[in-house]
Amino acid sequence: MPLASTVRSVRSGRPSRSIRHLRAAGAALAAVLAVALSACTPDPATEAYLNGEQKAYTSADFTVVEIPAAERGEPVDFGGVTENGDDFSSDEIRGRVAVVNFWYAGCGPCRAEAKDLESVWQQHQADDVAFVGINIYDQPDQAKAFADTYGITYPSLMDADTGEAKLAFAKVTPIQAPPTTLVLDKQGRVAARIIGPIKSPSILSALVKTALEEKA
């Protein structure tokens, strides 16, 4: 973590020379620690990109990873009950490209990206693309209130009590803190992963289009 000093000179209102030296030393130490930590814990997406294994790009709390077809895991079988009490199984969307979004109502970034997700859903409905939310914390009333507020029209599975849907995906791909968005290919395999709120609808739409162009 970055180091900072807030010590002030009582007499002049300006930092003394010794305090300035301490601040400079602290900044230098922080830089050394940052380099050391980054060397010990490389970002997986960046490392994969540098190794030529995956296409990946990242900025701050936002990361996108596209997974080559030959390197994808097994199809993900998942299901549950939606906020409206309807049973859902991944068998219903097999053979279609699907977008799966992990979220909950109290998540600020989830609220920020909600309208963008709905925009992409509306854009690709004619392409027979499926959208499914997986709500990991809330109960149905909270999820329905969220959908009403942000105009979300695709269903979400209520996964807070069982965690079954999240576990099904965690077996084949890292699931970070929400929001996390996955694009599934027509076989039900994870073709792309977005960690953090999507920066614009065009990013998610491009990933969807790439999956649509692949042969089943």
> pLDDT tens track of the chain, all 216 residues?
443 333 233 233 333 443 333 344 344 333 333 333 333 333 443 344 334 444 433 344 678 999 999 999 899 999 999 999 999 999 999 999 999 999 999 999 999 999 999 999 999 999 999 999 999 999 999 999 999 999 999 999 999 999 999 999 999 998 888 999 999 999 999 999 999 999 899 999 999 999 999 986
Tokens, residue 49: 């990109």
Predicted confidence at residue 130, as pLDDT, reads 98
Tokens, residue 43: 């970002």
Predicted confidence at residue 215, as pLDDT, reads 83
Angle between helices 108-124 and 201-213 (to 10 degrees): 50
Predicted confidence at residue 23, as pLDDT, reads 41
Q: Which amino acid is at 145?
A: A
Angle at 149 between CA 131 and CA 162, to 5 degrees: 55
Q: Judge contact between 194 and 64, C-beta under 8 A.
A: yes
Give the chain's count of helices (H) and strands (E). 6, 9
**Dist CA 20 CA 26 (whole Å):** 10
**Dist CA 132 CA 188 (whole Å):** 13
Predicted confidence at residue 61, as pLDDT, reads 60
Tokens, residue 157: 């599975």
**Dist CA 89 CA 70 (whole Å):** 25
Predicted confidence at residue 174, as pLDDT, reads 85
